[in-house]
Chain A
Amino acid sequence: MTRTTWVAAAAIPIALLVSLGTGPGDIGLGEALGVIGRRLLGEDLGLRGAIVWDLRLPRALLAGLVGAALAAAGALCQGLFRNPMADPGVLGVSSGAALFAVVGLLFGLDRAGLWAIPVVAAVGAAAAMGLLLAAAGRQASLAVLLLAGVALAALCSALITVCQALASHQWDFGLKVVYWLMGSFEGRSWPHLSWALPPCGLGLALALWLRRDLDALHLGSDAAASLGVDLPRLRLLVVLAVGLLVGAATALTGVLAFVGLVAPHVARMSSGPGHRRLVPLAALVGASATILVDAVARSASGVVIPPGVITSLVGAPFFLWLLRRRGLRGLAG
């Protein structure tokens, strides 16, 4: 691990501490740490314990996991398409998750339990990924894959709009859809974290495993093939990894914009274009940034500000600044 990677790794516990000490529940960092310590010893600490143990801690950990997943997926997409503008949404997986979640909300499945919408959204992500692979075909070029993903995302967005139009008289449905599409960690706890861990863990492991092949692809398709990279297999595995990472993240927290686009570029400023260092660094940057964004969202006031709004508000100007400073070629590494 390089020094930059160590610094990025150290930023995560710092971000976690900031997050644990932040929230409308008026519990400072010292008390929060004390609660966690005593909870680990098996004490039941009542209301304040519930606020720290059931709300803040799992929420912060989930934010870190989701941020890492989106950032790693972004790095994979930018590497696969050799396009600095590619983000995880480009494959349409998050749109598929969003569509199924909206349909689930439309039919009131959210009343079945906390698990219902994440499960439905995960099915949507898997369906979108399957459709993408079926539409593009195993031997499809990168351009065909990219265009199929864009078309799929557009189709899902259109169907979401149809759902909203058909149910525009149900104000509570509209409110739920808007909040879900803005992305949120509100009310996420240990069950959500346990549901996110297997797909995100598998996706992150796949992402780390694919680093060398993506480095070869950075030299061009022909060069990668001459170096022994099985390009159709690489495309399939990247799509699978992105599907797992983005599908799980979106299913559990809604749509978080810009994390998957900006975090890899921030990491690339230090790591350079090589995926061997880029993918883990991007995941670390995405994790700490998302934890901090959620902390900011909760500290701004006692009311709910969706972190997806903050990632867009911060991510878009930052990306413009980066674009102006380094140019498109600079972003591409």
Chain B
Amino acid sequence: MPAAPTSSPVHTVPRGRACARVTPGEKGSKCRPRDTRLPAVARGLAVLFALSACTGAPAPAREAGDAPARRIVSQTILADEVLWALGPAAQARVVGVSSLADDPRYSGVAGVWPPAVPRRALTSEGLLALEPDLAIIASFTSPEVRELLSSHGVRLLEFTRFTGFADYRAHVRRLAAVVEDPAAGERLLSDLDARLARLAARRPAASLAAVSWADGHAAAGGTSFDDVAEVAGLSNMAKEKGLEGHVPVALELMVSWDPPVIVTGCPAPEPDDPACRAAEAAVAALPGVRATAAARDGRIVAVPGRALASTGEGMARAAEILQDRLLAERP
């Protein structure tokens, strides 16, 4: 059952201060009393101000917490992936997934959700038509859509932190609670732990320094790549340079670091796709890059975007790809 709304979004002005009841001269009143004579234009403006004051500020978006939901619409790739991985019971509660769910460049569940499950972009009408009781929204969901969904009784769940495996674990547990199947969530995390253990066992004794760089941006500290690098046995150069987040890093600066490994993304589902070789060649062809240790030693590694940019299970996949490539090339 959906949780009851905590407050009505359209009645935020206390009853005792409703416009019709405001007495003339009341301190702090936003509504002008009737007996005040004003020119027509000013009266019109006053009415508009009064209406806006009566409508009040929009209600804050309500978090769903971990309350169960029966009709879930997902608007993030992470939720598309996790809800599928949680199994049939969770999948049965999903009435819509994001429009990016089938894009193999970003999504780990491309072509997996049945065609009967609608793919929806972030439009209020499209989402409301699915009659969800829970919408998993993205950080860029507009305040208007949030407010509209909220005012129609749809609970909102937004994940705001995507900085590695710890956040992923928290997200899996929350979604498992929402679909009332915590055991499925724990199974998912056990699988992840097993993969991380295998990665740890293969980790080289001496870590290689790597920079994740594409289109003038590097993934520094506090990013999912930072966790990926750590579990793969690499050190994140951008983080070691004191940078945080996904930051613009000029080509000259990146070259001057002389990275032993350059990791970049490629628009392909698998690492052996020719598009990944092309992406590596494109980075190698950039001016100055040929002089770096990474280019000299053939350690420019392209990882499929859906793994490198993943904030979910794909992070482990990215680490596995990096280990496969870099360990295979080491004596």
Interface residues of A (CB under 8 A from B): 23-27, 46-47, 49-51, 54-56, 58, 108, 111, 113-114, 169, 172, 175-176, 179, 186-190, 298, 302-304
Contact = CB atoms under 8 A, between A and B. Distances in A.
A240 to B, nearest CB: 31
Contact of A186 (B216, B247, B282, B305): B216
Given A186-B250, A186-B251, A298-B250, A51 B256 contact: yes
B251 A50 contact: no
Interface stretch (B11-19, B155-163, B193-201, B286-294): B286-294
A303 B248 contact: yes
A58 B252 CA distance: 13
B286 A187 contact: yes
A236 to B, nearest CB: 38
8 contacts: A25-B256, A26-B256, A55-B252, A111-B267, A169-B100, A187-B251, A187-B287, A302-B253
B249 interface: yes
B287 A55 contact: yes
B249 A50 contact: no
A309 to B, nearest CB: 12
Interface of B: 99-100, 103, 121, 215-217, 247-253, 255-256, 258, 267, 275, 278-279, 282, 285-288, 290-292, 305
B216 A47 contact: no
A33 B124 CA distance: 60
B271 to A, nearest CB: 16
A298 B216 CA distance: 13
B287 A24 contact: no
A175 B282 CA distance: 18
B287 A58 contact: yes
A54 B288 contact: yes
Contacts of B285: 113-114
B247 A169 contact: no
Contact of A25 (B100, B255, B267, B290): B255
A303 B275 contact: no
Q: Which of B103, B121, B251 has the most CB of A within 10 A?
A: B251
Contacts of B251: 55, 186-187
A113 B215 CA distance: 13
Contact of B279 (A111, A175, A179, A298): A111
A51 B250 contact: no
A179 B217 CA distance: 12
Q: Which of B249, B256, B282, B290 has the most CB of A within 10 A?
A: B256
Given A24-B253, A108-B267, A51 B121 contact: no
B258 A47 contact: yes
B99 to A, nearest CB: 6
A46 B295 CA distance: 12
With most chain A CB atoms within 10 A of its CB, the pick from B275, B278, B287 is B287
Most chain A CB inside 10 Å of its own CB: which residue of B217, B248, B267, B279: B248
Contact of A47 (B121, B255, B278, B279): B255
A54 B287 contact: yes
Contacts of B256: 24-27, 47, 51
Given A55-B288, A190-B287, 5 more contacts: A25-B256, A26-B256, A50-B288, A111-B278, A187-B286
